[in-house]
Amino acid sequence: MKLKASPFLSDLLLTTVTSLITVAGLGLMLRYLAIGLGPTEFGAFSIARRVSSSAAPVISLSLGIALPRYLALVAKDESEKRALLPSAATISLTTTAFAALLLFLFRTQITNLLFHKTAYESLLIATLVMLGGEVTSRLVYAYHRGLRQWLSANLYTIFLQAVIPVTLAMLFASRTDAATMVILFGATLGVTALPLIYLSTRDALASSPKAFRTASRRLLRYGLPRTPSGIAVDGLRSLGTVLAPYFGTLRDSADFAIGQSLLRASEGIFVGFGLVALPRLAHHVSRGREEFIAERITSLVAFVLQAGLFCVLHLLLWSDQIILLWLGPSYSSSIPIVRLVVISIVPYSGFVLLRSVIDAVEVKAVNTRNIYVGLVTATVLGLILANTSLQLLGLAIATTLGWFVVGTMSLIYLARRYEIQFSSLHLPQTIMSNAILLAIALAVHRYSETLGGPGVVMAEVVLSCSYLSYLWFRLKTPWLLEVRRHIKADNE
């Protein structure tokens, strides 16, 4: 009997593997950049990269979220479906050109605000190149995602966010400065303008002006209320990186960038579901399958709590070794801040997963409200704590608390709407099993020099497999049962 994965599980596995490859590529890229550029230039590069990735979804009016949703919802209306990408591309490229013009005109003031040195004006101009590339690449990915063309979408991602960036960092990081690296990365992303123009032109010719206007209204009605959410999400992600120079030096921004990289690494485990789920859940919403959605949300919450808790505890334990091995002893000062940022993995991962569910089932901008409450909380606490003896550690604590606020509010909204049964989450058993496994991991950490790298990795693999076996066979946790349900025999 041959086993065959369901289409949903196949898409999920493909996207999750892509996310993990991308995260691994990010780790390698940052290693080459951190060592090649040095701490100060790496800190400047981190700010520029964060600004471009934060501004892209805002400037494009969140159409990267709206486009896949409506491609799924209007699948039967061919004319309107064809009008969606040309409409999204026209709106996004127009707003991007306008924003780039404003940033260029006020480049001196913005450079001082971000980098505290006018010498980095060339870096800001380079950031505009990356910003344009971010917008076009996100639209092309969103288009393939909405059509469920996961192979094409994931190949784009692997090459644009892993293979090419790692190659560029490896070849040029030690030979040039932050501005040049930003231009190289931006030009690579900007290549996606070619398929975007081709696909938009093709679909526009197959559509009509009326369908174009209808598609534009749909996209803007959904995307505009979510645009402030994009500002807040990336504001919370960037809070430590951007504010660090005000309470320390530009080099301190690199410490927060490293912590955010580990947060992104954990996101690779969870983000695949959100990317696959949004167009699928939108389809289920259109068919009124509320009970089906409620069951899947319960599984999601269990996944976040059970997998997230394990990841947090073990990353906290090994963060010192990870940083020293990854970036070298010159970044040992990053360890305390990284440990504080790592604690936010559970609420951050919960937000990453649940925001796609909320976006699919709710037209109102619920995520926008949640993330702004978290951002305000983190900003106010950060400014207070950073002016105490905690300084930069206080900023890290505030950011982590901000993510806890966001994750908790997302959970409360869905729990009220779909009546999540928390008894099925097995929280006492989850906490107890993690405590036992952490005690074993502490012993492994104590004798890590004797065991060596391969021995430590093998021990963590055994602990991970033991934990999964306990969740599957003993607790029969819902998300693992979902995986089994999506594996079908050929003869069924």
Q: What are 457-466's pLDDT values in tens digits?
A: 899 999 999 9
C-alpha separations of 383 from 99, 245, 392 in Å: 29, 13, 10
Are residues 79 and 103 located together in one domain of the fold?
Answer: yes
- Please compute, for residue 127, the number of CA atoms within 13 A of its CA located in the half-sphere on the CB side: 28
> What whole-number distance in Å separates Cα of residue 75 and Cα of residue 33?
43
In this prediction the pTM is: 0.70
Q: Are 280 and 72 in contact (CB under 8 A)?
A: yes
Are residues 305 and 450 located together in one domain of the fold?
Answer: no
- Please tell me the total count of domains within the chain: 2
Are residues 26 and 98 located together in one domain of the fold?
Answer: yes
The pLDDT of residue 5 is 53
Are residues 125 and 38 located together in one domain of the fold?
Answer: yes
Are residues 368 and 437 located together in one domain of the fold?
Answer: no
Are residues 322 and 459 located together in one domain of the fold?
Answer: no
Q: What is the mean pLDDT of residues 126-131?
A: 91
Q: Bridge-partner residues for 5, per DSSP?
A: 487
Please give the residue that has the higher pLDDT: either 199 or 258.
199
Q: Which of 442, 440, 456, 469 is nearest to 306 (CA)?
A: 469
Residues 144-174 pLDDT 10s: 888 878 788 888 888 888 899 999 999 999 9
The pLDDT of residue 165 is 92
Residue 442 — pLDDT band, cuts 50, 70, 90? very high
Are residues 294 and 389 located together in one domain of the fold?
Answer: yes
The 10 Å CB-count burial string (b at 16+, else e) for 13-24 is: bbbbebbbbbbe
Tell whether the model's pLDDT for residue 6 goes beyond 70: no
Tell whether the model's pLDDT for residue 22 goes beyond 50: yes
Mean pLDDT, the chain, whole residue set:
83
Angle between helices 250-286 and 63-73 (to 10 degrees): 20
> What whole-number distance in Å separates Cα of residue 156 and Cα of residue 228?
27
- Please compute, for residue 228, the number of CA atoms within 13 A of its CA located in the half-sphere on the CB side: 12
Are residues 482 and 455 located together in one domain of the fold?
Answer: no
Are residues 416 and 467 located together in one domain of the fold?
Answer: no
Are residues 27 and 73 located together in one domain of the fold?
Answer: yes
Ramachandran quadrant class, 187 (left: phi over 0; alpha: psi -120 to 50; beta: rest): alpha
Show the domain range for 463: 427-476
The pLDDT of residue 490 is 38
Are residues 344 and 434 located together in one domain of the fold?
Answer: no
Q: Are 275 and 353 in contact (CB under 8 A)?
A: no
Are residues 352 and 448 located together in one domain of the fold?
Answer: no
